[in-house]
Chain A
Amino acid sequence: MNANQLGFYTLLKKEVMRFWAVLGQTVMAPVVTALLYLLVFAQAMSGRAEVYEGVTYTQFLLPGLVMMTVLQNAFANSSSSLAQAKIMGSLVFLLMAPLGHWEFFFAHVAAGLIRAALVAIAMLVVAIPFVDLPIAQPFALIAMFLLAGGSLAVLGIIAGIVSSKFDHLAAFSNFIITPLSFLSGVFYSVHSLPPIWFKASHLNPFFYMIDGFRYGFFGRSDVSIWQSLAWTSGFFIAISSVALWMLMTGYKLRK
């Protein structure tokens, strides 16, 4: 069956136009929030010892904050778009159109990544004059951004599909995304944790996303980059399979 290429580009364009129309809320606000974290934590922890040799706490913190913001915004983009369309009823325009599950999936993932990239670039542009940040492994950096941002955009698709009211979406965000991202080693190295929390961190996929992303900047990380890539790829494949199954079968979309 022929793919609907123009349909895919149109859906992607529409998803980008949707967040672009409220740029202050979708890009500027998360950048400001993340930079406030940076300012406050960098000040409060300024006397703390280097996390890795030659890497100050502020340098260590910035990539983690960037990745945390990437994760939250990639999730927010696809989840809010889908949930809103579902709740307001405008999803029928997509469901009645000759768009397949692959086109639907990739358009939402790509739009989430574009928003996440804008947020990350804006954060780095503002922070880099004040924080000296090397880029040791650019390919690892890009790979981790795509896999981690993509994973959260996919998770957003799942959340959008299963949510039948905005409360459900808020619960997803407040009880899953925020705790997992805060407990992923954004603000600390997991080596500084008590043994039980150290072990627990290794079950959190967000930990590998942030650790692998940090490796892209410093060439050093808490676990091997291959382990981070393997965990994040595995997570991406697993949840993508779930999302594609939902889209293909029309789970909670078609009765």
Chain B
Amino acid sequence: MNTSPTAALSISGVRKAYGAVKALNGLSFDIRQGEFFGLLGPNGAGKSTLISIIAGLIRADEGSVAVLGHDTVRDWRTARRQLGIVPQELVFDPFFNVVDMLRIQAGYYGAGREVWPWIDEMLERLDLSAKRTAMMRSLSGGMKRRVLIAQALVHKPPVVILDEPTAGVDVDLRRTLWAFMRDLHQKGTTVVLTTHYLEEAQEMCERIAIIDKGVVRVIETTEALLNRHPFRFLTLKLVDGAELPASLRELVTTEKAGAVELKLEREKHPIASVFAALRSAGIGIADVSTRDPDLEDIFIELTGKALSSAQGASK
């Protein structure tokens, strides 16, 4: 484990139990400064508990968290100034309009008028300029989500945590948000993302940790993670809807619309061997395609659960 004091986030031996349920079971890893980091896991894996511990909303039973070297318990004030967190729930204060809410939020962090131009820039970037004097309670869900994102960034934190920022939001906001986060990341901001949309994590994150049952199952660069498992997928459509020979049936992962998908280990099952088996069984191929594993496949491989099934629930 890298315990560099200059890690953007250093999570060390964090445990948290709710009665007999161990939400976090000795979690340890570092997130380097300037990384775009994905924190993935099935529902109940402990992601939200971990984020709440980092934010100071929940106290860990054991272990510690440091933000840019500042312990979140002993040196909480400095640690919190370095952090911007977009909460998962759409929470808002109904008494204020958008721009007042953002100025108030900046003030909590000791930032005054000097950040007002930054607030205007964020309103512009997040397509909120037209709503700057609209009351929070009058905004749609998507607009409230934009304000939450702006609130987390208002004090220009070097470390930003986005907890399911795109759950239930339209394509437009996703595009706007990711363009904005890419810009911030390029300027040196460390971004930590949790999401149910694995294609987002695959596209945006340089490194990914998959946690399950309160422990880290794997932590690797996205590229290494995708290359970690030496398999690929082969989709076949057989002539006249013929049945696969028995030797290939154990490789089938899905079957739909007359097509079958086989999961092939590169060393053990070269594609040529599949074609040879079909040829010797006298079965003709009507159509064929291949694909490399994506993050969803890796996720299933590691956790035994599909994240896409939870995705529907979060929408």
Binding site for B on A (CB under 8 A): 1-2, 4-7, 9-11, 13-14, 17-18, 21-22, 85, 88-90, 92-100, 250, 254-255
A68 CA / B3 CA spacing, docked (Å):
58
CB B250 to nearest CB in A, in angstroms, measures 47
- Count residues on chain B whose CB falls below 8 Å from chain A CBs: 32
Most B C-beta atoms less than 10 A away, residue of A17, A96, A255:
A96
CB B120 to nearest CB in A, in angstroms, measures 19
Tally the A-B contacts, defined by beta carbons under 8 Å: 85
A254 surroundings in chain B (CB, below 8 A): 56-59
A22 surroundings in chain B (CB, below 8 A): 95
On whether the beta carbons of B95 and A96 are closer than 8 Å, the reply is no
> Does B104 reach chain A (CB closer than 8 Å)?
yes
Name the 5 nearest CB pairs between A and B, nearest first: A10-B107, A89-B91, A97-B108, A98-B80, A98-B77
B80 surroundings in chain A (CB, below 8 A): 96-98
On whether the beta carbons of A94 and B77 are closer than 8 Å, the reply is no
Binds A, one of B81-89, B177-185, B235-243, B290-298: B81-89
CB B16 to nearest CB in A, in angstroms, measures 9
Given A4-B77, A18-B95: A96 touches B57 (CB 8 Å cut-off): yes
A9 CA / B291 CA spacing, docked (Å):
58
In the assembled complex, 24 residue pairs joining A and B whose CB atoms fall closer than 8 Å, in A order, are: A5-B110, A6-B111, A6-B112, A7-B108, A10-B104, A10-B107, A14-B104, A17-B95, A18-B95, A88-B91, A88-B92, A90-B92, A94-B108, A95-B55, A95-B57, A96-B80, A96-B83, A98-B78, A98-B81, A98-B110, A99-B108, A250-B59, A254-B58, A255-B59
CB A244 to nearest CB in B, in angstroms, measures 16
B104 surroundings in chain A (CB, below 8 A): 10, 13-14
- 0/1 per residue, B64-93, Cβ < 8 Å to A? 000000000000111011010101010111
> Does B116 reach chain A (CB closer than 8 Å)?
no
B110 in complex: contacting residue of A7, A17, A88, A94, CB < 8 Å: A7
Given A89-B89, A90-B93: A96 touches B107 (CB 8 Å cut-off): no
On whether the beta carbons of B89 and A11 are closer than 8 Å, the reply is no
> Does B96 reach chain A (CB closer than 8 Å)?
yes
A21 surroundings in chain B (CB, below 8 A): 95-96
- List 15 additional contacts besides A17-B96, A93-B151, A100-B77; criterion CB under 8 Å: A2-B77, A6-B107, A9-B107, A10-B104, A14-B104, A22-B95, A88-B91, A92-B55, A93-B91, A93-B93, A98-B110, A99-B108, A254-B57, A254-B58, A255-B52
On whether the beta carbons of A93 and B108 are closer than 8 Å, the reply is yes
On whether the beta carbons of A7 and B59 are closer than 8 Å, the reply is no
A90 in complex: contacting residue of B91, B106, B107, B109, CB < 8 Å: B91
CB A46 to nearest CB in B, in angstroms, measures 43
- Chain B, range 112-148, C-beta contacts under 8 Å to A: 112
On whether the beta carbons of B83 and A92 are closer than 8 Å, the reply is no
- Chain B, range 5-30, C-beta contacts under 8 Å to A: none
> Does B303 reach chain A (CB closer than 8 Å)?
no
Most A C-beta atoms less than 10 A away, residue of B57, B76, B85:
B57
A22 CA / B106 CA spacing, docked (Å):
24
Residue of B nearest to A250 (CB): B59
On whether the beta carbons of A1 and B56 are closer than 8 Å, the reply is no
A14 surroundings in chain B (CB, below 8 A): 96, 104, 107
A254 CA / B76 CA spacing, docked (Å):
14
A93 surroundings in chain B (CB, below 8 A): 91, 93, 105, 108, 151
A250 CA / B80 CA spacing, docked (Å):
16
A93 CA / B81 CA spacing, docked (Å):
13
> Does B312 reach chain A (CB closer than 8 Å)?
no
> Does B200 reach chain A (CB closer than 8 Å)?
no
On whether the beta carbons of A96 and B91 are closer than 8 Å, the reply is no
CB A137 to nearest CB in B, in angstroms, measures 38
Most B C-beta atoms less than 10 A away, residue of A6, A11, A93, A94:
A93
On whether the beta carbons of A17 and B100 are closer than 8 Å, the reply is yes
B85 in complex: contacting residue of A11, A13, A96, A99, CB < 8 Å: A96
> Does B94 reach chain A (CB closer than 8 Å)?
yes
A17 surroundings in chain B (CB, below 8 A): 95-96, 100
B56 in complex: contacting residue of A5, A89, A90, A96, CB < 8 Å: A96
A22 CA / B85 CA spacing, docked (Å):
30
On whether the beta carbons of B108 and A10 are closer than 8 Å, the reply is yes
- Chain B, range 138-191, C-beta contacts under 8 Å to A: 151
A8 CA / B56 CA spacing, docked (Å):
19
CB A93 to nearest CB in B, in angstroms, measures 6
A94 CA / B108 CA spacing, docked (Å):
8
On whether the beta carbons of B76 and A98 are closer than 8 Å, the reply is yes
CB A242 to nearest CB in B, in angstroms, measures 20
A247 CA / B282 CA spacing, docked (Å):
77
B58 surroundings in chain A (CB, below 8 A): 254-255
On whether the beta carbons of A1 and B95 are closer than 8 Å, the reply is no
- 0/1 per residue, B38-52, Cβ < 8 Å to A? 000000000000001
B95 surroundings in chain A (CB, below 8 A): 17-18, 21-22
A4 surroundings in chain B (CB, below 8 A): 77, 108, 110
B78 surroundings in chain A (CB, below 8 A): 98
A255 surroundings in chain B (CB, below 8 A): 52, 57-59
